[in-house]
Amino acid sequence: MKNIRLGKTDITVPQNAFGALPIQRVSEDEAVSLLRNAYDGGMRFFDTARAYSDSEEKVGKAFEGMREKVFISSKTQATTKAKFEEDLNTTLSNLKTDYVDIYQLHCAAKCYNEEDEIYNALVEAKKQGKVRHIGITAHKIGVAEDIVKSGLYETLQFPFSYLASERDIELVKSCKENDIGFIAMKGLSGGLLTNSRACMAFMSQFDALPIWGIQRQSELNEWLGFFGNEAEMTEEIKAEIEKDRNELLGEFCRGCGYCMPCTVDITINQCARMSQMIRRAPSQNWLTDYWQQEMLKIDSCVECGLCKTRCPYELDIPELLKKNLKDYKEILAGKPV
* Range 3-234 classified under CATH 3.20.20.100: yes
Q: What percent of the chain has pLDDT over 70?
A: 100
For the stretch 274-313, pLDDT in tens is: 998 888 777 788 999 999 999 999 999 999 999 999 998 8
Asked about 153 being catalytic, the answer comes back as no
Identify the pLDDT of residue 280. Answer: 77
Mean pLDDT calculated for residue range 148-172: 97
For residue 225, give the amino acid letter. G
Predicted pLDDT at 70: 98
Residue 164 has a CB neighbour count (10 Å cut-off) of 21
* HEC string for 94-152: HHCCCCEEEEEECCCCCCCCCCCHHHHHHHHHHHCCCEEEEEEECCCHHHHHHHHHHCC
Residue 43 has pLDDT above 80, yes or no: yes
The predicted pLDDT at position 188 comes to 93
User: How high is the pLDDT of residue 282?
Assistant: 72
Task: Output the pLDDT for position 255.
Answer: 84
Q: Where are the domains of the chain?
A: 3-234, 268-332
pLDDT in tens, 91-119: 999 999 999 999 999 999 999 999 999 99
Q: Which of 52, 103, 162, 328 is catalytic?
A: 52
Comparing 257 with 127, the larger pLDDT belongs to 127
pLDDT at 249 over 80: no
- In whole angstroms, what is the distance from residue 3 CA to residue 212 CA? 16
Closest CA relative to residue 183, chosen from 1, 3, 4: 4
**Residue 100, strand partner residues:** 131
